[in-house]
Amino acid sequence: MSRIGVFVCHCGENIGRTVDCAAVAQACGELPGVVHSIDYKYMCSDPGQALVKQAVAEHKLDGVVVAACSPHMHEKTFRKTVANAGINRFLCEMANVREHCSWIHEDREEATQKAIDLTRFIVEKIKHNVPLEPIKIPVTRRALVIGGGIAGIQAALDIADGGCEVVLVEKEPSIGGHMSQLSETFPTLDCSQCILTPRMVEVYQHPRIKLMAYAEVDKVEGYIGNFTVTVRQKARGVNASLCNGCGECQKVCPNKKIASEFDAGLGKRPAIYVPFPQAVPNIPVIDRANCALYKGRARNAKKDACKKCEEVCGRKAIDFDQQDTFLTEKVGAIVVATGYQLYNIKKEQDKEAISGYGEYGYGTIPDVIDGLQFERLASASGPTGGKILRPSDGKEPKTVVFLQCIGSRDPAKGIDYCSKICCMYIAKHTMLYHHKVHGGQAIVFFMDIRAGGKGYDEFTRRAIEENDALYVRGRVSKMYRDGDVIKVLGFDTLSGEPMHIDADMVVLATAMRPQPGIESLAQKLSVSYDRFGFINEAHPKLRPVETNTAGVYVAGACQAPRDIPDAVAMASATASKILGLFSASELEREPLVAQVDQGTCAGCFHCVRVCPYGAVEHFEVKDRKGNLIKTVAQVNKGVCQGCGTCQANCPSKSVELQGFTDQQIFAAINAF
């Protein structure tokens, strides 16, 4: 006969207001098998847990039912409590009388009856609970970091400095990300490259970091502690082990008219190129779409059109026939740090939900640029050598209008969220402009100035008060080109006056969006993402850098719009989480996984077909002499997520989900 204890929680007023907790405790006390039943105001509090512990000892309980909130909230708490009291923690179950009862009902009498019923079901279920032991799985103490921007660099360095190996995968030819494109950084105005490039070099030289630039994650298999990742190393057309980065090939390349990605389209680069002089690794890539040789080969030309780079390369490093290669890496944890792209105002968008700005000419007006392009204009390493010159005719713009919230905070454009960094970087732009163009006027149209952060508000005040930026609270309704100027029609909502400005250049603070392809990467990793494509964190407050897949972490702007300090903080947090994970040689997992009865399994392998995680394998049952008797299903306890799909689908009822066996579930249902 069972000796079950029932503990009914009031959750302050949360449950007690609607449910007569004392009546529930009394009714449950009369159930067969229940030897102890009480109610208490806060069962999860210290004295509440003490009551449970004390009862286990006094009444020699072999089952504990806590009627309280959702098991998501406190199952762990109470299981730990009973474990401390000396019984197996899987002999503790929760009845959810808050989310499933008190919060959703009004009638006290009916709610009380429902709470009694819910608790009764669990009492019947727990009579069939058996002690379970946690699963122990080995850990590969090696991490994969996806994305070599500032977040990925920080995460990789922190993990590697903590003593574990890191594989850093970057899809572009060089690491550095968007931060390497910036001129100065807010709120200190220190040079972006000056603080970033030493970190990039550190990554390159670190003995525990394996850098794979110009590579992408192709496939991810396995589970926390034991991932197998296939990485596609894209063909550079250059043998990385022979190249010494002398740069001669770039000088002789005849096609130097390609818009440079690094200069946000404002500068030019050759077909064989490194994105920028400080690139890490400093090994060029051949842009096959623009290289005459590859274009010729695609047309089946009889002779290769141009081999100038090969001819000039003293190291014989050019390899036109190089192919993509696939490498397999074993890692125990993964950091997603793929960063952002900027929204564009064009008519054609990559997502149906997002639309462009027809009122601003859909991106067809010359000298209307975005924030990253302004960064390149202001950067000493940029196409103008740091002079603010407008792209169309190279003239110095005397009036520059900055528009904030382009796309951002506009559900009509399909981007509801605030991009967070724009208020700050526009303030920075006005300062840089003020320093570089004497007598120039910066006019900023803003919705709100959101400058929360250390030294941030002071920074925007400085732009307004010391750098003469004219801040106008309002929106611009229309822009069009009229001769040499851009007519900007806006509205000052504070004075109530319409504004007509003849601008020489317009800078749009376009919204931050996750990188293209984030959805497919997230699917490979089995992590969820929101409707904008940002990776979902496991909990917005308490688990900000974990995802819903164990062992996969998230850092930087692929999770939400982030500035550099945020991205770096998140990256260090992932590193700390991963080093914590790697501190033990074995991982403990909840044993709530499927188990196959190999005696009754007929080997139909329907479970293999339905398992969403690929957790069911074939297992050969052999006799003592090694002769094959039959092949049956076997569940990999490391991979199984305990969803129960196999259990529901097994025709011979040979699979049972531990903790949710048919016997337990039917007992609960029969109690109804």
Partner 1 sequence: MKIGYFPGCSLDFSAKEFDTSLQAVATSAGMELEEIKDWACCGATSGHATNHLLSIALPARTLALAEEQELERVVAPCAACYSRLATARHEMAEDKKLFSKVTGILKRDFTNSVQVMNIAELLRDNLPAIKEKVTHPLKDLKVACYYGCLLVRPPKVTGFDDTEDPSSMEEVCRAAGATPVKWNKRLDCCGGGFSLSRTGSVIRLGKEILEDAQAAGAQAVVVACPMCHSNLDLRQKAIAEQTAKPLEMPILFITQLVGLAMGISEQILGLNRHFVSAQPIIAKATVKALPAAREEA
Q: Which residues of this chain interact with partner 1, rule CB under 8 A?
A: 347, 357-359, 361-362, 480-482, 487
Rounded to whole angstroms, the Cα distance separating 249 from 252 reads: 5
Q: 305-319 in b/e burial notation, b at 16+ Cβ within 10 A?
A: ebebbbeebeeebbb
Give the whole-angstrom CA distance, residue 339 versus residue 515: 6
Cβ distance 203 to 175 under 8 Å? yes
Of 30 and 482, nearer to partner 1 (C-beta) is: 482
| Least gap, CB of 412 to partner 1 (angstroms) | 8
Is residue 280 within 8 Å of 157, Cβ to Cβ? no
Q: How far is CA 294 from CA 253, 300, 309, in A?
A: 13, 10, 13
Instruction: Return the number of the residue (480 or 605) whose C-beta is nearest partner 1.
Output: 480
Q: What angle do CA 95, 96, 97 make, to 5 degrees?
A: 105
The nearer residue to partner 1, 78 or 357, going by C-beta atoms, is: 357
Q: Is the dihedral of CA 269, 275, 278, 279 positive or negative?
A: negative
Q: How far is the CB of 390 from partner 1 (least distance, A)?
A: 20
Length of the chain measured in residues: 672
Q: Which is nearer to partner 1, 204 or 480 (CB)?
A: 480
User: Smaller CB distance to partner 1: residue 359 or 457?
Assistant: 359
Q: Residue 358 Cβ, how far from partner 1 at the closest point, in Å?
A: 2
Q: Minimal distance in Å, beta carbon 371 to partner 1? A: 22
**Peptide bond preceding 187 in cis form (omega within 30 of 0):** yes
Euclidean distance between CA atoms 335 and 338, whole angstroms? 9
Nearer to partner 1, 480 or 619 (CB): 480
Smallest distance from the beta carbon of 442 to partner 1, in angstroms?
Answer: 24
- DSSP letter for each residue of 483-528: TTEEEEEEEETTTTEEEEEEESEEEEEEPEEEPTTHHHHHHHHT--
Least Å distance, CB 506 to partner 1, is 15
Nearer CB in complex with partner 1: 157/503: 503
- Nearest distance, CB of residue 497 and partner 1, angstroms: 16
Largest CA distance in the chain: 94
CB of 487 to partner 1, least distance (A): 7
Residue 401 CB, shortest distance to partner 1, in Å, is 17
- Taking a C-beta distance cutoff of 8 angstroms, is the pair 336, 527 a contact? yes
Q: Tell the smallest beta-carbon distance from residue 567 to partner 1 (Å).
A: 35
Residue 257 CB, shortest distance to partner 1, in Å, is 27
Question: Distance of CA 329 to CAs 228, 281, 378, 405, 422, Å?
Answer: 6, 20, 41, 42, 38
Could you give the 3-state DSSP secondary structure of residue 238?
strand
Name the minimum Å distance from CB 392 to partner 1.
Answer: 17
Place of tokens 């066996």: 661
- Number of Cβ atoms within 10 Å of the Cβ of 600: 12
How many whole angstroms separate alpha carbon 601 and alpha carbon 616? 13
The residue among 320 and 362 lying less far from partner 1, judged by its C-beta, is 362
Q: Three-state DSSP class for 203?
A: helix
Q: How far is the CB of 345 from partner 1 (least distance, A)?
A: 11
d(CA 654, CA 633): 9
The distance of closest approach from Cβ of residue 498 to partner 1 in the complex, given in angstroms and rounded to an integer, is 12
Which is closer to partner 1, CB of 324 or CB of 416?
416
* Cβ distance to partner 1 smaller for residue 106 or 348: 348
- Nearer Cβ to partner 1 (499/550): 499
Toward partner 1, which CB reaches closer, 351 or 481?
481
CA distances from 205 to 116, 189, 198, 202, 598 (A): 65, 28, 11, 5, 52
Kindly report the backbone phi and psi dihedral angles of residue 111, in degrees, each rounded to the nearest multiple of 5, phi listed first: -65, -40
Secondary structure (H, E, C), 18-72 = CCCHHHHHHHHHCCCCEEEEEEECCCCCHHHHHHHHHHHHHHCCCEEEEEECCHH
CA 107 to chain centre: 43
Least separation in angstroms between residue 357's CB and partner 1 is 7
Output 358 or 580, the one with its CB closest to partner 1: 358
- Nearest one of 570, 493, 532, 223 to 408, comparing CA atoms: 532
Nearer to partner 1, 478 or 630 (CB): 478
Please, which residue, 173 or 361, has the CB nearer to partner 1? 361
| Residue 71, beta-bridge partner list | none
